[in-house]
Amino acid sequence: MANDESRSTPSLVETSAEIERPDYRDPNGEYIPVVVDGIRSGLLTEFDLYTKVTKDFFLVKPRKSAVTSLLLQRLEGRTPYVYIRAADGERYFASVDQNLEQIVKNPSLGLREKAALLTDYAVGVVEKLFSDPGNPGTLNSAKNFTQNCVQYIASNRQAFLHLVELSSHDHYTYAHSVGVAAYTIALAGEMGSTEPAALADAGLAGFLHDIGKSMVDPGIINKKGPLNEEEWVQMKKHPELGAEILRRHKNLNPIIVLAAEGHHENLTGTGYPRGVVAKSLDPLVQVISLADAFSALTTKRSYSNPRDSKAALMLMKDNLKTKFDPEMFRRFVLLFLDPNKRQAA
């Protein structure tokens, strides 16, 4: 075992989670950032595109006009985001919704571009879910994301690592949900699950695990610094609140409700809300707990900067090992090994 551990850490693929990125959002809400990768995929052809210089927005491509290679070169080299008018947001979202499968299958798009489009879309879905968690249309978009995320992760061994890198940015709760979905799909696959429909359900369970936070006071969710006792009481209600929301949706795999309810339980029985020993829960709930802990350590929060993947895995190995199944954790670490060196590990 010691041998395994010493072999597994040095060749971990580094991700850039420690790099501080600026907030690309428009504080006035007139423009919304969309990943620049959407241009190459053809998704942005029908939109007026703007670029931001300090605080001002400039039209760089009117809708219907062709994208020149010079413009593409300039934008792609300069910024991960271009802007569309907020009034076009729904139309853009619907267009990604319709084209997600083609994007993931498009051989002329790179893995990173696909990850950027998937993540950007998924963050939009979480944002909508948190403002209206009972909306069946948004839940279908969540399923669309997780099904395509399964395809994307299965397409290439490096694909998962692009999602790891991108899921560590942006607003904590939104990026966190996307990250937990991706890590759950990858780890469930590593644990032997191969059926795409089962993996998509696993991903959806990860994506929706914190939906109960939509019912907790945002002042508590976004608080900078530690919560006081009363705030913790409120926060600890989110697993049960989430299960309640999800029970109202028809035709959901019951594991999705169980995951929302049980993702803060652990192997030592010191978790919440019930304090049960997680061995008694479905293994997928344990997969989601592990994905949740890793994402919490690697995603930027209002009060702390994210750790990189290696630091997060080391911390989990040293401090949280009694809370997770050792074999599950070992397999999770394997996902981060350089695919070329994996054979030897």
Interface contacts to Fe ion, rule CB under 5 A? 210, 292
State the minimum distance, in angstroms, from the CB of residue 127 to Fe ion: 16
Percent helix, strand and coil across the chain, each to the nearest 5: 60, 5, 35
CA-nearest of 170, 149, 296 to 141 is 149
State the minimum distance, in angstroms, from the CB of residue 189 to Fe ion: 20
State the minimum distance, in angstroms, from the CB of residue 35 to Fe ion: 24
Q: How far apart are CA 73 and CA 140, in angstroms?
A: 35
Half-sphere exposure of 306 (CA within 13 A, CB side): 30
Closest CB to Fe ion among residues 42, 269: 269
Closest CB to Fe ion among residues 12, 221: 221
State the minimum distance, in angstroms, from the CB of residue 246 to Fe ion: 13
Q: Are 207 and 140 in contact (CB under 8 A)?
A: no
- Residue 39 has which token pair? 């241009």
Closest CB to Fe ion among residues 170, 210: 210
Q: Are 188 and 284 in contact (CB under 8 A)?
A: yes
Q: How far apart are CA 207 and CA 143, in angstroms?
A: 9
Closest CB to Fe ion among residues 152, 294: 294
Closest CB to Fe ion among residues 120, 210: 210
Q: Provide the terminal-to-terminal Cα distance of the chain, rounded to the nearest Å.
A: 12
- Residue 20 has which token pair? 């501080």
Per this entry, what is the length of the chain?
345
Closest CB to Fe ion among residues 85, 213: 213
State the minimum distance, in angstroms, from the CB of residue 59 to Fe ion: 39
State the minimum distance, in angstroms, from the CB of residue 343 to Fe ion: 33
Check residue 32 and report its DSSP letter: E
